[in-house]
C-alpha cells in the first residue's frame, strides 16, 4: 500500500489529469483513481471532495450541477485553461522526479559508484 504522504501529494495531479480527459463528477473521478491504482491508493472517499473544492477555489476547475443520464443530480467538474497550465507544471515536476529516480535505478545507473 502506498503511504499516506505520497497519496496526499499525488491527489492533485491525479485529479487534474483525469479531468483533462473530459469533465466528470466526484464519484466517477474517485472510482477512476481507485480502478487505476488497483486498490493500491487508499483513502476515505469524503476527504477527496475538499481537494476538488480547493482546486475550484484556485480557479483550476469549474463546477456545475446537472442532471445525469440516469436522472440523478450530479456536480460536474471541468478543467479551466488555468487548470491546463497547472497540469502541465505538475507533469513536469513528476516527470523530473521520475527521471531522477529512473536514472538512479535504471539498467545503467549513472551515478553508481561515483
Which positions lie near other proteins, rule CB under 8 A? Answer: 25-28, 30-31, 44-47, 49-51, 53-54, 57, 65, 72-75
CB of 99 to other proteins, least distance (A): 32
CB of 114 to other proteins, least distance (A): 43
CB of 88 to other proteins, least distance (A): 23
Rounded to a whole number of angstroms, the CA Rg of the chain reads: 17
Q: How many CA atoms lie within 13 A of 55 on its CB side?
A: 29
Question: Which of 34, 29, 73 has its CA nearest to residue 55?
Answer: 29
Amino acid at each position: 500500500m502506498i503511504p499516506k504522504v505520497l497519496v496526499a501529494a499525488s491527489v492533485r495531479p491525479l485529479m487534474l489529469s483525469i479531468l483533462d480527459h473530459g469533465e466528470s463528477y466526484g464519484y466517477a473521478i474517485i472510482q477512476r483513481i481507485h480502478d487505476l491504482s488497483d486498490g493500491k491508493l487508499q483513502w476515505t472517499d469524503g476527504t477527496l471532495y475538499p481537494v476538488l473544492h480547493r482546486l475550484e477555489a484556485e480557479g483550476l476547475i469549474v463546477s456545475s450541477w446537472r442532471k445525469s443520464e440516469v436522472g440523478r443530480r450530479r456536480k460536474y467538474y471541468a478543467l479551466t485553461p488555468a487548470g491546463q497550465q497547472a497540469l502541465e507544471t505538475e507533469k513536469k515536476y513528476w516527470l523530473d522526479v521520475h527521471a531522477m529516480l529512473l536514472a538512479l535505478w535504471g539498467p545503467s545507473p549513472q551515478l553508481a559508484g561515483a
